[in-house]
Amino acid sequence: MAGNLGFLVLALLLLISMCESAVFNSVSDSHRSAALELLYPSDGSFGSLKVMYEALRTFEVLGIDKKPDVRASACASVAETLRSTSSASEDLFNALRVNGILKCELNDEAFAEISYRFKDNLNGARSLIDFYYSIGSLLLVKDQTSNSDVHLRDADKIFRSLKDLSQSDGRWRYSSNNPESSTEAAGIALETLAGVISLASSEIDRSLVANLKNDIVKLFDSIERYDDGACYFDDKLLGSHGDQGPLSASSSVVHGISALAGATSESLNIPGEKILGLAKFFLGIGVPGSAKELYHQIDALACLEKIRGSIPLILSLPSSVLSVTRADQLKVRVNTVLGSVAPPLMVNLRQIFVSGSKDASVVNQKLKFDPDSGMHVLETLPPNIDIGNYVFSFEIVLDDPEYKKTYVTGGRTKVPIHLTGVVQVENEEIAVLDSDLGSVEMHKKVDLSGGSSISLYANHLQKLRLSFTLTSPSGHAFKPHQAFLSLRHESGVEHIFVVSNSGKKFEIVLDFLGLVEKFYYLSGKYDIQITVGDSVMENSFLQPLGIIELDLPDASEKAARPPPQSVDPYSRFGPKAEITHIFRAPEKRPPRELSLVFLGLVLLPFLGFLAGLFYLRANMKNFPRSTIPATFAIFFHLGIAAVLSLYAFFWFKLDLFTTLKALGILGMFLMFVGHKTLSHLATSSSKLKSA
């Protein structure tokens, strides 16, 4: 119970500190392992072109060399889809995306036909998805071949048609017939409009682009935030357009702004802290457990690294737990979201907050860059820092001011740091006091770190006192999250008391006169156990100290009875004692040589029988020599032997009914093989007479 209460306290304090700050790590090998596990096809087939593209795109971004060898089958599927006149727009779009990665060998005629088809589709497009597939496919054709005319001569008209689906809050509708708007649809619309700008044969009207930038500002005004700085878009629309959760909605918006930033030379005026917040949101997911979520995460992070002027830099720590006793150094790594090397910069430690408090100490200490490991190292901690839970505030400063036009640092980054160490335990004493005078009746030194086993005696007129001091590595008083004294009766009834402190000294006095009712008047031996623990205390302990024998008065009739003790489920439902079987000792057998001699003696009468036939000049000339007749003849004689054996069994063991049934079966068998044998003999005799 004491341990559980302590863990609850620890969890609550850690939760409070995590709400203020969090550690975000760039893409690592864990994501690559998850990609191979979730996206690698077990049977060599992805199932659809869309799933194939998502897997290949994820492998490409993560730089995984061990890709499935599906080029031949994938290119065949792509070519078949592009040649088919009945292929849906979505299938053609996904086939072109797969071809953009695999670079299949396709002729220009296929691209020309696709370009003509999608240009024709634009004339009748009414929904956002129709525009998305048509514009996206034409843009893919433009990237994959230069021999097809994919430019849009009526780009302004298409731009206005798409703009008509926008809403005042920055979100978009999927069609004019659907009044509900969606954040994910906004991302699809931005990506489609970026394609329109790229495919336009002449420059798009600047007023249209300016209105679009205002829509993006309104869209980012509705972004959601976490306390740790992560930002995301939430989609309230429930419909049939795929996954409508925060991950897919945020990924769609990132896709859109990334495509738009690459299509236009104008700045989108998106605050860098919101771009960095989106990066923290995707990285805060960790390693997703499904293939779809992994694709959304990795693809969105790749798009964030392509946003011109807003590439986020992530500050991470290899370890947020440092030992003061071992003099661990604080190490900080700065990378892009995909783990690429950051530009030249320096990291400064600005402030240190005590976890759960707004009070901060100003440090302004520069971390030293280690070129070998690529990390920034804080060689020594500030002198006023003791063991405990803190929040360190770091600031990233780019060496070249020109880098500010490319990268986003997000100002100061708060990171939770846990400083641990060995706490010194001293002046451990346990004593039995007289209740009236307070004089020491029995006094003993104990070793709370282990090795003590004391034996005490007390009655209800006496007291038990336990005291000790705790000192942190820096010499200050240390107050752990949990300090409990436990007395457990031999019947199983346990009593737990909190050990209070005053500065460095911890002390508890148990007055047994006031505790007789709580102890249920149970006299006898009690096991003494002390528990002292903290998340930053490296030498936390749960130590038995010995026993104390209490002599308490007899309980009255109205006194409370001790509660029934729970039965140990392991003793009730655990494995039973192993059952050992006693087998009969093997019988003694004769030597092998003797058995072989006996076998020869058994076969000797048969050999004598054959010799007797030869001696009596038995006529064996008519025995069939051909394979099939000889087989029937052998079966006939074996059947005769079986009938004779059956008679013998009848006399010794079998009953009449069983014997007749077996005899009937053997009779039919003998009739069949005997008929075959006699037919052969008759045929042979006829041939001899005719000769």
pLDDT at 621: 67
Confidence class for position 437, pLDDT limits 50, 70, 90: low
- Give the percent of the chain with pLDDT over 90: 45
pLDDT at 255: 93
β-strand 368-370 against 375-378: which pairing, if any?
antiparallel
Confidence class for position 506, pLDDT limits 50, 70, 90: very high
Rounded CA separation 372/379 (Å): 16
Tell whether the model's pLDDT for residue 323 goes beyond 90: yes
Predicted confidence (pLDDT) per residue in 151-177, tens digit: 888 889 999 999 999 998 889 999 988
pLDDT at 21: 61
Predicted confidence (pLDDT) per residue in 49-107, tens digit: 999 999 999 999 999 877 677 888 889 999 999 888 888 999 999 999 999 998 888 88
When pLDDT is averaged across residues 297-309 and rounded to a whole number, the result is 92
Q: Could you give the C-alpha distances from 366 to 37, 389, 416, 679, in angstroms and in order?
A: 42, 21, 18, 113
SS (H, E, C) 617-681: CCCCCCCCCCHHHHHHHHHHHHHHHHHHHHHHHHHHCCCHHHHHHHHHHHHHHHHHHHHHHHHHH
Among 6-20, 86-100, 183-197, 647-661, where is mean pLDDT lowest? 6-20
Predicted confidence (pLDDT) per residue in 212-243, tens digit: 999 999 999 999 999 888 999 988 655 445 55
Higher pLDDT, 238 or 522: 522
When pLDDT is averaged across residues 516-534 and rounded to a whole number, the result is 93
Rounded CA separation 351/237 (Å): 42
Tell whether the model's pLDDT for residue 574 goes beyond 90: no
pTM of this structure: 0.72
pLDDT at 625: 73
Q: Cα-flanking dihedrals φ and ψ of residue 473, to 5°? A: -60, -25
Residue in the structure block whose two tokens are 């049934």 = 661
Confidence class for position 17, pLDDT limits 50, 70, 90: very low
Tell whether the model's pLDDT for residue 550 goes beyond 90: yes
> Do residues 500 and 485 make contact, with C-beta atoms less than 8 angstroms apart?
no
Confidence class for position 661, pLDDT limits 50, 70, 90: confident
Rounded CA separation 260/351 (Å): 38
Beta partners for residue 341, in sequence order = 335
Tell whether the model's pLDDT for residue 632 goes beyond 90: no
